[in-house]
Amino acid sequence: MANKSGNAYALTVLCPIRGGVQSHTAPLQQQLQTLQVNEQSPMAKVPNTYLCRFWVLSDVPYQGKPGFLDHLKSDYLVFSSNFYGELDPYLEGMWKALETGIRVILSHCVDGDSVSDAESFIEYIKRCKVATTFFFNGSTDEPLAQQLKNLYLKQEFSKFAFENQGKSASDLQAAFRAFVLRTQPDNLDGPTWAAGAYHLDKVVK
Amino acid sequence: MTFEVTTGVDLDDIQGNVVKAYGRYGLIVARYVFFQINGPVGGRKFVGNILPLVTRGMPWSDSKIIPRVATNIGFTYEGLRHLDIPEVTLHGFPEAFSMGMKARREIIGDTGPSLYDYWDPIWNTPNDNKQHVHIMVTIDGKEEKDLEDRYQEIQRILADNPEVKQLTGHRGPSGGMYQPAAAILPTKDKLGFPGGKEHFGYSDGITTTFFEGCGEEENLVIGGGKPTGKDPRTAAGWAPLAAGEFLLGHPDEACEYPEAPGPSLFSLNGTFIAYRKLHQNVGSFNAYLDAQGAKFPDGKEALAAKFAGRWRNGAPLVSFPNEEGANKFIAEFAALQQKMWADSASSQEKERFAELSLQLLAFDYSNDTNGSRCPFGSHIRRTNPRSALEFGKTKAFDVPGALSNRRRILRRGLPYGQVDDPTSDNGEHGVIMLIVNADLSRQFEFVQQQWMNYGNDFGLANDPDPLLGNHENKEGRCDGGRMTIEGDAGTNKPPYFCDRIPTLVETRGGDYFFVPSLTCLRMIALGIIDPT
């Protein structure tokens, strides 16, 4: 199935934006453009999100003759997300983390008012979902928390290797014990990289 | 699917420095002279007067026809504008060239101590950062006297032309009138191939990139062309690169013409040169090598070799992993070279010499896929990965050099200055690099940005090249540069980590130059370029 690669899921959703006398496109656009990014992004709170984007698709570009000058029936809100695991629990997690924000965004979409709880949200998204093709999963096949911990450990271990090179076996062992105590490799809650962070100096939570 | 592209390359229409590294032909001293044009008529007259002196690309197959001096010319974008080249033609140039080297500093890493603030004054006008170098004339000669004769000839041309001004402001001993350069030759007690050293003590300029129609000796395709996947020790293991990687108007490795301005006759057989004055921090290099070399299990010389991918005597690490073997190889090579030079080698010795010459060039990294001999981060494995970006997977791509064939450059230039105090970074010494390529952005700038100042393509995160990288502190990077020297699982040898590498090479000036064909030079001189 094109939507899945290992345990990674690629979701593509096209929600029609409400038309009428006063278009909802511009206010929605503004809403999306003023969302925080990186570790401050609301989507960083949604468990297991690898990478996601919201954007507005207003029309299709005209390629010139001999192509048709064609138009979309309406503007669309596009939501694209790569995440770990199955669709239903992911969307449930999204609703739990961002209920208010989702309501605001969907208020600009056709039939968005029908969404009132996790169940109706899942149902709505499934109605607007399209098949994802050419899905390339650029991440390892593990839950996000595990991946963030791995990245943190890799970075810290690299520092450890540089700092402790050439020490005697006993000193090295002592240093490694201290390293394990400090970094807690089995503890996914921390210390670890914060979801959404990309700046190496600000990643540890 | 791959295509065999055949091209007719008219070497008589191409400037000689594009196809030849003059140093290999005994032209081992040079002067780089720069001019400013203050009126298009005078500018065109200057070009016309220099034209008869310009050295062409015909092969120097017989040593008797090698001239004592060679002259070549190139223009910055501003220079072409001051020659009244039509606007339409100017706008056909790629953005990298029209912006110039200084404006591309964030891409190529000319920041920190390499920022233009620290460049030789010729590259900076006070209170005005506009590019004002218009013309570069390079003079390469056998001896100083040859250079001086040609230099005076050009002075006479200049004396007659008030609209063209020679620019001053080079640091160094020439009184700032020009940038001198000279090969560093081995002394009697310091034999070694291939003669030319640079200031860190490495033999330099060993491999020469080989392309279709370049007119160089055919067997130089070995190690100099693109890998075919066959035995790298044989000619079958290599093929010439497409001419369009280095010459405008010819198909390149993608079977396309490189981006170039019209009319086609204006750009045909032309190319671009990035001129770079690179200062070498010899004191920092020696101090780092001494300190880190004392800790490195195989010692200082081996560490120097790991930085470069070759021993300082030139022997490649992949073929000569041990110092003793490398020294033995170079000693035998140098002894035979003496005999070759003295014309006293027997036929057997000649054969052996050819065999040894090949060993300097004829290798790839397929016998070293874990980097235990030649580190992934070493200078030559980064700058010219050969087939190494397949990472040991045969047929990973359509062709073994799929990720590197379009990133090749031709290296020209010579070292400059001398080291008076090997414990100090101060003084005038380094390398004048002239990098020839058809696409500055895709070739020179890519190599500089992705392979010199970054390491992701080699699985080395953000580690830069130990020798040429800009090791200034960057976000999230530890203090100074880092390099991982891979261990060897087979012999249980652990990896070794070098950290706090200081910046060893700093930019002290330069720009991008269009190096036209002879035809184009004539068109410029006559003012007959018509892009309509």
How many other C-beta atoms are found inside a 10 Å radius of the C-beta of residue A115? Answer: 21
**Position with higher pLDDT, A67 vs B246:** B246
Chain position carrying tokens 């070497």? B11
Which residues from A are below 8 Å from B482, CB to CB?
162
Chain position carrying tokens 């991946």? A147
Q: Are B455 and B462 in contact (CB under 8 A)?
A: yes
Q: What three-state secondary structure class fits B481?
A: strand
What interhelical angle do B40-50 and B144-159 show, nearest 10?
A: 150
pLDDT at A36: 92
pLDDT at A103: 97
pLDDT at B190: 43
Q: Is residue B139 part of a domain?
A: yes
Question: Among A199, A198, A183, A182, which residue's Cα sits nearest to residue A150?
Answer: A183
Mean pLDDT to the nearest integer, B140-166: 97
Q: Are A107 and A99 in contact (CB under 8 A)?
A: no
Please tell me the distance from the alpha carbon of residue B497 to that of residue B242, in angstroms, as a whole number: 39
pLDDT at B191: 42
Q: Is residue B192 part of a domain?
A: yes
pLDDT at B188: 44
Please tell me the distance from the alpha carbon of residue B388 to that of residue B394, in angstroms, as a whole number: 10
pLDDT at B187: 53
Please tell me the distance from the alpha carbon of residue B401 to that of residue B397, in angstroms, as a whole number: 8
Partner residue facing A201 (CB), from B475, B497, B499: B475
Q: What is the pLDDT of residues B456-493, one digit of tens each?
A: 999 998 899 999 999 986 544 456 789 999 999 888 99
**Closest-CA distance of chain B to residue A162, Å:** 6
Mean pLDDT to the nearest integer, B282-309: 97
Q: Is residue B270 part of a domain?
A: yes
Q: What is the pLDDT of residues B196-255, one digit of tens each?
A: 899 999 999 898 999 999 999 899 999 999 999 999 999 999 999 999 999 999 999 999
pTM: 0.91
SS3 string of B290-332? HHHHHHCCCCHHHHHHHHHCECCCCCECCCCCCHHHHHHHHHH
pLDDT at A190: 87
**Exposure of B453 by Cβ count < 10 A (0-12 exposed, 13-18 middle, 19+ buried)?**
buried
pLDDT at B440: 98
Number of domains in chain B: 1
Please tell me the distance from the alpha carbon of residue B150 to that of residue B139, in angstroms, as a whole number: 7
pLDDT at A24: 95
- Structural domain span for residue B178: 11-220+239-278+509-526
Contact (CB<8Å) B497/A200:
no
pLDDT at B162: 96
Q: What is the pLDDT of residues B16-26, one digit of tens each?
A: 999 999 998 99
Contact (CB<8Å) B476/A159:
no
Mean pLDDT of chain B: 93
Instruction: Give the count of alpha carbons within 13 A of B418, CB side only.
Output: 5
SS3 string of A68-137? CCCCCCCCEEEEEEEEECCHHHHHHHHHHHHHHHHHHHHCCECCHHHCCCHHHHHHHHHHHEECCCCCCC
Which residues from B are below 8 Å from A38, CB to CB?
none
Q: Are B465 and B450 in contact (CB under 8 A)?
A: no
- The yes-or-no verdict on residue B302 having pLDDT over 50 is yes
Q: What three-state secondary structure class fits A145?
A: helix
Q: Are B38 and B165 in contact (CB under 8 A)?
A: yes
pLDDT at A203: 59
Q: Is residue B49 part of a domain?
A: yes
Mean pLDDT to the nearest integer, B297-309: 97
Q: What is the pLDDT of residues B507-519, one digit of tens each?
A: 999 999 999 999 9
pLDDT at B415: 96
pLDDT category at A204 given cuts 50, 70, 90 is low
Q: Which whole-number Å values give the CA distances from B527 to B35, B85, B133, B522, in the listed order? A: 19, 8, 21, 8
Q: Is residue B380 part of a domain?
A: no
Q: Is residue B407 part of a domain?
A: no
Please tell me the distance from the alpha carbon of residue A76 to that of residue A28, in angstroms, as a whole number: 10
Mean pLDDT to the nearest integer, B94-121: 95
Q: Is residue B75 part of a domain?
A: yes
Which residues from B are below 8 Å from A168, CB to CB?
none
Classify each residue of A118-149 as buried b or exposed e, where b means 16 or more C-beta atoms within 10 Å of its C-beta. beebbebbeebbeebeebebeeeebbbbebbb
Please tell me the distance from the alpha carbon of residue A116 to that of residue A113, in angstroms, as a whole number: 7
How many other C-beta atoms are found inside a 10 Å radius of the C-beta of residue B126? Answer: 6
- Domains (range + CATH), chain A: 4-130 (3.30.70), 144-202 (no CATH)
B228 Cβ neighbours under 8 A, 6+ residues apart: B236, B237, B238, B239, B399, B400
Please tell me the distance from the alpha carbon of residue B391 to that of residue B371, in angstroms, as a whole number: 10
ipTM for the whole complex: 0.79
pLDDT at B194: 54
- One-letter amino acid at B20 equals K
Question: Among A193, A93, A99, which residue's Cα sits nearest to residue A152?
Answer: A193
Q: Which residues of B touch A (CB under 8 A)?
A: 295, 475-476, 478, 482, 496-497, 499
Please tell me the distance from the alpha carbon of residue B250 to that of residue B74, in angstroms, as a whole number: 20
- The yes-or-no verdict on residue B5 having pLDDT over 50 is no
Contact (CB<8Å) A159/B475:
no
Chain position carrying tokens 């063209």? B164
**First and final C-alpha spacing in chain A:** 36
